[in-house]
Amino acid sequence: MQVYMDNNATTMVDPAVVEAMLPFFSEQYGNPNSLHKFGTASHPAIARAIDQVYAAISASDDDDIVFTSCATESNNWVLKSVWIDKILHGEKNHIITTEVEHPSVLSTCKFLEEQGVNVTYLPVNEQGVVDAQMLRSFITDKTALVSVMWANNETGMIFPIKEIGEICKEKGVLFHTDGVQAVGKIPVDVQAVHVDFMSMSAHKFHGPKGIGALYIRNGQALSPLLNGGEHMGGRRSGTLNVPYIVGMGKALEMATVNIEEKMASISAKRDRLEDALLKLIPDTFTVGERDHRTPNTILISIRGVEGEGMLWDLNNAAIGASTGSACASEDLEANTVMLAIGADHELAHTGIRLSLSRYTTDEEVDYVIDHFKTAVERLRSISSSYAKVKPTPGGEATACEMH
Amino acid sequence: MAKNDLFGASLWDEYSNKVTTLMNNPQHQGEITEEEAAANGNKLIVADFGAESCGDAVRLYWEVNPETDVIENSKFKSFGCGTAIASSDMMTQLCLGKTVDEAVKITNIDVEMALRDTPDVPAVPPQKMHCSVMAYDVIKKAAGLYKGVDAESFEEEIIVCECARVSLSTLKEVIKLNDLSTVEQVTDYTKAGGFCKSCIKPGGHEAREYYLVDILADVRREMDEEKMKAAAEAGLGGDFEAMTLVQKIKAIDAVVDDNIRQFLIMDGGNMEVIDVKDGEEYIDVYIRYLGACSGCASSSTGTLYAIEAALKEKLSDKIRVLPI
């Protein structure tokens, strides 16, 4: 058996989505901007996909939802265009975001800092979320934009988007949310919360990679990131990626129909997995209260077991998981989200993220429980940190100062 | 960037088979107790290095024959990634059968080389080299405990890049000899900073005492000072093109004072040097005429030619004089 538990990274494309996409690769391949029948033949499918996306997040007909290549593009678009529109050619010079955003937000903010923009990176509390009232205290007359993710990719923690949106509306500040980890997993209603912009990506909810969208509230101006023709109403040029747009619409519809029921099913499996791991393996803990997490996510920390070593053993058991901790990534740093929530550095090197999907089965959960325990036991038997040994005659281990 | 860099390979794909094998089945993992060592008439040494907070830590056990100083048994425990576990295992293997003095000569480079499947292909990707450094350091710690000396006493030089074992003195020498001006050049010449990158600048995996950016800046400053000193000592006979802006202006003024200014003053005029700009083809000297010279017809012909000729002869053929 092999088990995929890395659904916050990407998801399997649903077979029904593939089926919906297929005709637009080989049969209805015309450019939808062409006047002839080959092009216009795809119009009904595009229109349907647009309807599906609008309906999934309760957007109004007057809002714009523009297809992009991914959420990274959407995030870059908002941040860089606000810089151009409101900062470079305006009176403002300040952006607020958080320390735990996706790199497509953080790296873009770093780039904007180099261009002279002031950026405030808000810390998160012990639950891994920002405090909306703290955010309020950082908004000034110079603030052009607040960018706060809807749910965190590593912990699954859901941020107080409604409260933040109200504060931004009250203060007259634009509000962008990276909705990548929320859309398709929990109910997202842009009428019920005030967001000006929201990024999303199809491959997070069983759609294809390479297609995303940006929600733009009615009336909000935003300079295009890609200039060219007049595609997407001039908002985003480039020939429409018809099969992927169709796939995204279908995937989002499938993810959001009866979403409460799907959430209950996934969270039941997630909770069973989490309970079993915490019960069977001593000295482990998980991050964030379940009720405030996306229903599929567990970030578990295992005392004495370094993240990459654990990932290695899980991979040997054909279990795909993930870690943002040291040695699994190029920069070798400890898990930044774990550090942000106040975990010590040792624990921040031990986090393993397990993320389920609606296709995760009970058998797969049982398999992960068994092999997770086996891996922890093996690695703890090697671990100098977890070894039950006498104090060393040579004194204390060398300390290392982390940045 | 090139074709092969467009799509990043998995770190694990760059591990040698030996690393993979030892990660899955370390051969020397475990502990040695006082009782076991005493039963063999040996001395037990237990040394720790690294810290869990850094993401890597190792505990090394040695059973040393006190009469021969030979390490007769060796075990380890390790908190770390696959590379850390495999490196610790190989380091333990390399210690076996050696005297403490021989073991202390084992470096992280030896450990990494021993983990290679083929001599020319690294056992681990560059950013994982730091995991083998821990193996080097814990041996020094163990040897220090056995001999009753500080582990640092085994280190003859200040090591800036532990992954590539490049010393401070080597770096300074290479920068000076090759007139290096960027960290990338320093890495190309020495390999320092080419692995885990902690030694390049603050903010990496771990804090360092010395960083390449600071060393490079210090050495370049020293080189500039030496150059200026040499130019000052050589006076006007020094290399004009190598002079600083201030030195150039002073040198030009000196030539003008000695050769030109007296003739201008005789006719009720004068001149001043406004700026000097270095170009690839010319060194442009911007001057402004004063007094009678400013309205003189020959200021853009004969006088200008005389000034430029004097400066070319005394300082550099590249000089071009431009009145403004």
Tally of residues, chain A: 403
Whole-angstrom distance, CA of residue B226 vs CA of residue A79: 48
CA distance B30 to chain A (A): 7
Cβ distance A332 to B51 less than 8 Å, yes or no, reads: no
Token representation of residue A97? 């975001």
Residue from B23, B35, B53 whose CB has the most chain A CBs within 10 Å, to mutate:
B53
Chain B interface, best mutation among A382, A388, A401, by max B CB count within 10 A:
A382
Check if B142 contacts A (Cβ < 8 Å).
yes
Give residue B165's pLDDT: 77
Cβ–Cβ gap A399/B53 under 8 Å: yes
- The mean predicted confidence, pLDDT, of chain B is 86
Q: Which two tokens stand for residue A95?
A: 């952006």
Count of other CB atoms within 10 angstroms of residue A63: 18
A316, A384, A400: residue with CB nearest B77: A384
Tokens of A119: 């950026």
Q: What is the pLDDT of residues B80-109, one digit of tens each?
A: 888 889 999 999 999 999 999 999 888 888
Give residue A141's pLDDT: 95
Tell me, yes or no, if B53 comes closer than 8 A to chain A by beta carbon.
yes
Place of tokens 């052009």: A144
3-state secondary structure B98-142: CEHHHHCCCCHHHHHHHCCCCCCCCCCCHHHCHHHHHHHHHHHHH
ipTM value: 0.79
Please give the radius of gyration of chain A, using alpha carbons only, rounded to the nearest integer: 23
Could you give the CA distance from residue A234 to residue A238 in angstroms, rounded to a whole number?
Answer: 10
Decide if B69 touches A, using CB distance below 8 A.
Answer: no
- What value does the mean pLDDT take over residues B275-286? 91
Whole-number pLDDT of residue B235: 58
Residue pair B174/B190 in contact (Cβ under 8 Å)? The answer is yes
| Spatial contact of B29 and A381, defined as CB atoms under 8 Å apart | yes
Of chain B, the end-to-end C-alpha distance in Å amounts to 46
Q: What pLDDT shows up at residue A368?
A: 98
Residue in chain B nearest A334 by alpha carbon: B55
Residue A399's pLDDT is: 37
Q: How many contacts does A have with B, using Cβ atoms within 8 A? A: 136
Facing B23 at nearest CB: one of A304, A312, A400 = A312
Cβ B55–A304 below 8 Å, yes or no?
Answer: no
Distance CA B181, CA B167 (A): 18
Nearest to B137 by CA among B49, B207, B208: B49
Which residues of B belong to the active site?
A: 54, 131
Residues in chain A within 8 Å Cβ distance of B14: none
Amino acid A392: pLDDT: 42
Closest Cβ opposite residue A392 in set B47, B51, B202? B47
Chain B residues with CB under 8 Å of A387 CB are 31, 59, 77
DSSP string of A284-321?
A: EEE-S-GGGB-TTEEEEEETT--HHHHHHHHHHTTEE-
Predicted local confidence at residue B173, as pLDDT: 84
Segment B224-236 shows an average pLDDT of 69
Asked if B26 is an interface residue toward chain A (Cβ–Cβ < 8 A), one would say yes
**Separation in Å, CA of A364 to nearest CA in chain B:** 24
Q: Which residues pair with B230 in a beta bridge?
A: none
A381 contacts in chain B (CB < 8 Å): 29
pLDDT at A308: 87
State CA A184 to chain mean position distance: 11
How many angstroms away from the CA of A398 is the closest CA of chain B?
5
**DSSP result, A131-148:** -HHHHHHH--TTEEEEE-
Indicate whether B5 pLDDT > 90: no
Can you give the pLDDT at residue A245?
98
Residue (of B143, B130, B122) closest to B62 by Cα position? B143
> Dihedral of CA B92/B15/A347/A367: which sign?
negative
What letter does residue B299 receive in the DSSP assignment? G
Backbone angles phi, psi at A322, to 5 degrees: -150, 160
CB proximity under 8 Å: B 197-256 to A? 202-207
pTM above 0.80, yes or no: no
- Put simply, the answer to whether A398 touches B48 (Cβ < 8 Å) is yes
Rounded Cα distance, A104 and A84, in Å: 18
Other CB atoms within 10 Å distance of the CB of residue B191: 16
Torsion sign (Cα): A31, A36, A40, A41 = negative
Across the interface, do B55 and A325 touch by the CB < 8 Å criterion? yes
- Work out the burial of residue B286: count CB atoms within 10 Å of its CB; fewer than 13 is exposed, 13-18 middle, 19 or more buried: middle
Round to whole Å and give the CA distance between A151 and A293: 8
Per residue in B111-126, pLDDT (tens digit) is 989 999 999 898 988 7
> Residue A109 and residue B256: Cα distance in Å, rounded?
54
Please identify every stretch of chain A with a pLDDT value under 70, giving residue numbers as ranges.
324-336, 343-346, 387-403
